[in-house]
Amino acid sequence: MSQKLFGTDGVRGIANIEPITATSALRLAVAAARVLARHKSDSIAIIGRDTRASGEMLESAMAAGLASCGVDVLLAGIMPTPAIAYLTPTHQADFGVVISASHNPFQDNGIKFFGPNGYKLSDQLELAIEAEFFRIELRQPAPGKSVGRIRRLKDSVEQYAAFAASTVPKGFSLSGTTIAFDGANGAAYETTPLVLTRLGAQVKSIAGMPDGCNINRECGSTHPEAISALVRKTGAAFGFAHDGDADRVLFCDETGDPMDGDDLLAIAGADLLVRGQLREKTVVATVMSNFGLDAVLNGRGGKVLRTSVGDRYVMDAMIQHELNFGGEQSGHIVFRDFSTTGDGLVAALQLMDIMQRTGKPLSELRKVLKKFPQILRNVTVREKLPFEQFSGLMKQVAEAQSKLAGRGRVLLRYSGTEPKARLLLEGPREVELEELAEGIMKELARNLGA
């Protein structure tokens, strides 16, 4: 096994292949207990998972490993990732564990941690856990040390649902509103419809019957065509979709026209700015977000602070600069006044609140953002070698950068969670972007293609 365990969002891989095996999960649990429980006699950890079939195996292994180190384990069951971020500090746990591979196919799985404050772990803590994991032998707990207990966390769904509903103003009601919802056959298949129904909405759902193998399959936020079709079929006021662990949300308007995270950042960012509730008049976004977002904020006296791709980098910037709103084009939207991580349900509710206060449908609200044309391309790679090793590739990138200088940009990077290279081109003319992308993609496929 490679001496590198954590990626950009926890430990990821194919279930039942190292490092996502029962054996490694148990070992990871022991390593995490040593670093995060700090040998306390009353340590508590909360574990949640999504609907993947492999989640039960990994949950059992993690729970056993933690209990062997004297940590009491609360099993929250199938829960959205942001629910574990909320429940961890609520129950004064030392840390939370989420077993999920987010938007990836069901064959994959992953393990990530939240600290006692509900935020993801720092790089330093992940490195400390990694170092413990790779020690030659697992030390036996001290003789006579109490074994931790494992029990179900009662009412975890109810607790999270009540929290999510509390993030909208008192008296907020969705009565008389028909909402289309795509649960991605994932972790929020129960919680999101429950909250919407309690707020009075009539919910038309798809992908709400997980079987362990259908998570994200032709549904959810990575397949916006599914929720668009449902809106058109039902005549819903709007629709939205989560990914498998529900830390993302993407909407479509009443016509079924899909919207991405940049649309949501523009609508909510402008609303917070106008109401004087956007700290430092700044929205945090990644380098992938459309430059049209800058125009929205700049035109209202605000600005965009950009980070590397990944919701953890967005959150790091928000913490460092004491900001309260940001997110990603992919649909990770963070309202930090309410949540310590991207929360698809909370973000959806905040957008619904904007619609109610303004009396405008999404087709009208989305007009605030005038997007620059973008071309996004992905290619599966054999190995993530430095791009600089390939002169032909770098020549194509340099030519594209030269042609777009002052009018657009080129961004070539590797995915942090999948064996893929990702290319983004942005500029005023889509035809030009297509031509430039073709040359770069040919070189990528020739040099790195799987």
Q: Which residues contact 166 (CB under 8 A, 6 or more apart)?
A: none
- Give the CA distances from residue 78 to residues 50, 83, 251, 321, 337, in Å, rounded to whole numbers and listed in that order: 5, 10, 23, 34, 25
Is 166 known to be catalytic?
no
Beta bridge partners of 334: 326
Q: In b/e form, how buried is each residue of 370-407, taking b as 16+ CB within 10 angstroms?
A: ebbbbbebebebeeeeebeebeebeebbeebbebbeee
How do 150-152 and 95-99 pair as beta strands?
A: unpaired
Choose the catalytic residue: 102, 156, 228, 330.
Answer: 102
> What is the end-to-end Cα distance of the chain in Å, rounded?
21
- Distance, in Å, from the CA atom of 333 to the CA atom of 435, rounded to the nearest integer, reads 32
Number of Cα atoms under 13 Å in the Cβ half of residue 233: 11
Tokens 């769904």 correspond to 157
Report which DSSP code applies to 222.
Answer: T
Q: Which active-site residues does the annotation give?
A: 102
